[in-house]
Amino acid sequence: MMTLEELEQDALKRNIPVMQKEGILFLIEQLQERKATSCLEIGSAIGYSAMMMTTHVEHLCVETIELDEQRYLEAVRHIHEHGLEKRITIHHDDALTFQTDKLQFAPYDCLFIDAAKAQYQKFFEKYVPFVKKNGIIIVDNLDFHGMIFDIDHIKNRNTRQLVKKIKRFKDWIFQHDAYDVEYYAVGDGICVIRRKDEQ
Ligand SMILES: C[S@@+](CC[C@H](N)C(=O)[O-])C[C@H]1O[C@@H](n2cnc3c(N)ncnc32)[C@H](O)[C@@H]1O
């Protein structure tokens, strides 16, 4: 069985995108501060962040959705090896079409969006109704390796399109009437979003 540290290193070697150390520690801190007991994660990959969250935040249960079958199967194996089956529920599905009546721990103290970056707004709109009124939504990778600040100089067309979509989400959420957004230059850029009527 690999330790979480080894799992992270192994994922990086295989080009499996897992949350940067600084980012995951920030997320854990947010969950600890609010004594969160439930978190819905969109994008499990091999289960690294879900396992980091549950092993560092007392009483937290994570429900997570992963589209890729190989990654899902690997996550199931790691979760089992670490004996975290009771704390982590993983669904193999496309979060965009996932039937939300299958959600087990809703409403959540935290929604953590870490899947296909071009779809952030869709994930947000679909899953925000399952967040507690005073809960938080955390979105990672909003700087896209700094490229978001210099879109015109991105040569690759696909990358440029993707970065534009991330920027569109960022602009949309920052201007939203119903939400307050705090931006943190941690890891690859993280936003913590809260409902305005619950401050
Ligand atoms: C950045 S990785 C997640 C990393 C993970 N949260 C961690 O830090 O350990 C993003 C994952 O989202 C998955 N994904 C992409 N689109 C998805 C979708 N529509 N529904 C569910 N998962 C999706 C990808 O297959 C990928 O494994």
Give the mean pLDDT of 36-58: 98
Task: Reduce the DSSP state of residue 1 to 3 states and report it.
Answer: coil
Query: At which residue do the structure tokens 């560092």 appear?
Result: 56
- Ligand 1 atom nearest the C-alpha of 50 is 9
pLDDT at 199: 57
Per-residue pLDDT tens digits for 136-168: 999 987 776 667 677 777 788 888 888 888 889
Separation in Å, CA 180 to CA 39, 95, 138, 191: 19, 24, 12, 10
Catalogue all structural domains in the chain, each as residue range(s) with its CATH number: 4-198 (3.40.50.150)
Q: Please give the biggest Cα pair distance in the chain.
A: 47
The type of residue at 106 is A
At residue 150, the pLDDT reads 74
**Ramachandran angles phi, psi of 46, nearest 5°:** -100, 15
ipTM score of complex: 0.99
Phi, psi of 149 (to 5 degrees): -90, -5
Binding site membership of 116 for ligand 1 (Cβ less than 6 Å): yes
The 3-state DSSP class for residue 174 equals helix
The verdict on the CB of residue 23 being under 6 Å from ligand 1 is no
Beta-bridge partners for 40 = 63, 111
By most ligand atoms within 8 Å of CB, the mutation choice from 4, 25, 28, 42 for ligand 1 is 42
Structure tokens at 185: 């230059």
Residues in the chain: 199
Pairwise CA distance, residues 22 & 3, whole Å: 18
Task: For ligand 1, say whether the CB of 45 is within 6 Å of any of its atoms.
Answer: yes
Distance 92 CA to ligand 1 centre (A): 11
Taking the centre of ligand 1 as the mean of its atom positions, its distance from the CA of residue 54, in whole angstroms, is 18
Distance 138 CA to ligand 1 centre (A): 14
Given a cut of 60, whether residue 86 has pLDDT beyond it is yes
